[in-house]
């Protein structure tokens, strides 16, 4: 969700009034809202106010200030009812996409699911629920973000059918716009292992009980043999606290043997598991 670092212009400035189309070039993604629905950049206070909030939300998200991003998104959604119907759908598509990503990053899948579903609904209203009408690369990338984000939530809940439909939709958009399909294809292939991954994660969480309350995230990679024995453990993404990282490696090793992988799985089977705090004392 990239955005320009240049200063946001005043929505009521003379430059904004005289050259509204410059907003599209200055802020990535604004073309989706203004051009996707066949609308020109009108001299509108509401459009300018929404644009400022949306830009701030993207900047906050880029710099991992997810709480601030959500505040800006909520403020942006208070403005969109003042837009024309078509422009409102495109604007809310963008804003809810950022909101869903911020909730996901903040480990709030329930709110993320709601926001991402609403974002996809707005996209469907723009495109007539037919991705073949999708022509804008920025809009295509945002649609992929929405669908894969929502699919990951369903995958974590072992709802493979829902996740699979969304991953396949994302892959179709990626293929059409010549995007890298590797990550989505890997996620789709991994759906068959979602129930097994949930069992492994449950076992690891029972073993992973840090002695003091933590609000950290540790990601470990492990190789699981056909009989469930753990062949290798390593830190994929450390927590930043050396003591917690050492404890995590020991706890994961002590969690074995794990449930045997599904029939036909590679041996050893490589898994990457995210362990998320807080953990109660």
Q: What is the pLDDT of residue 195?
A: 72
pLDDT tier, 69 (very low <50, low <70, confident <90, very high otherwise): very high
Q: Is the pLDDT of residue 132 over 70?
A: no
Query: What's the rounded Cα separation, in Å, for the pair 111 and 150?
Result: 11
More confident residue, 269 or 18: 269
| Section 68-73 average pLDDT | 95
Given a cut of 60, whether residue 19 has pLDDT beyond it is no
Query: CA–CA separation, 263 vs 281, rounded Å?
Result: 38
pLDDT given at position 220: 85
Residue 25, phi-psi category: left (phi > 0), alpha (psi -120 to 50), beta (remainder)? alpha
In the predicted structure, residue 281 carries a pLDDT above the cut 70: no
How many other CB atoms sit within 10 Å of the CB of residue 163? 25
pTM of structure: 0.57
Please report the domains of the chain, with CATH numbers, ordered by start residue: 14-179 (1.25.40.10), 193-276 (3.30.1150.10)
Q: Is the dihedral of CA 7, 54, 30, 81 positive or negative?
A: negative
| Rounded mean pLDDT, 20-36 | 38
Residue 232's pLDDT band (cuts 50, 70, 90): confident
Q: What is the DSSP string of 54-85?
A: HHHHHHHHHTT-HHHHHHHHHHHHHHGGGS-H
Give the model's confidence band at 204: pLDDT under 50 very low, under 70 low, under 90 confident, else very high: confident
Assess whether pLDDT exceeds 90 at residue 70.
yes
């Amino acid at each position: 969700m990239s955005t320009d670092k240049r200063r946001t212009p005043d929505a009521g400035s003379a430059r904004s009034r005289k050259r509204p189309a410059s907003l599209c070039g200055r802020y990535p993604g604004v073309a989706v809202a203004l051009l996707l629905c066949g609308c020109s950049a009108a001299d509108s206070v509401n459009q300018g106010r929404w644009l400022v909030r949306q830009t701030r939300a993207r900047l906050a998200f880029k710099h991992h200030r997810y709480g601030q991003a959500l505040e800006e998104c909520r403020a942006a959604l208070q403005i969109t009812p003042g837009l024309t119907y078509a422009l409102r759908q495109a604007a809310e598509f963008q804003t809810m996409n950022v909101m869903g990503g911020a909730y996901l990053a903040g480990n709030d899948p329930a709110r993320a699911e709601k926001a991402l579903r609403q974002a996809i609904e707005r996209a469907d209203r723009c495109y007539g629920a037919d991705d073949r009408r999708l022509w804008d690369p920025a809009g295509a990338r945002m649609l992929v973000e929405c669908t894969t984000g929502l699919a990951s939530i369903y995958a974590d809940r072992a709802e493979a059918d829902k996740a699979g439909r969304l991953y396949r939709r994302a892959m179709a958009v990626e293929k059409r716009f010549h995007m890298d399909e590797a990550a989505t294809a890997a996620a789709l292939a991994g759906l068959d292992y979602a129930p097994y991954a949930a069992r492994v994660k449950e076992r690891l969480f029972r073993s992973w009980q840090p002695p003091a309350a933590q609000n950290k995230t540790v990601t470990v990679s492990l190789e699981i043999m056909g009989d469930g024995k753990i062949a290798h453990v390593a830190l994929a993404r450390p927590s930043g606290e050396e003591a917690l990282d050492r404890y995590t490696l020991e706890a994961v090793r002590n969690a074995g043997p794990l449930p045997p992988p599904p029939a036909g799985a590679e041996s050893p089977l490589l898994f990457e598991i995210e362990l998320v705090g807080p953990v109660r004392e």
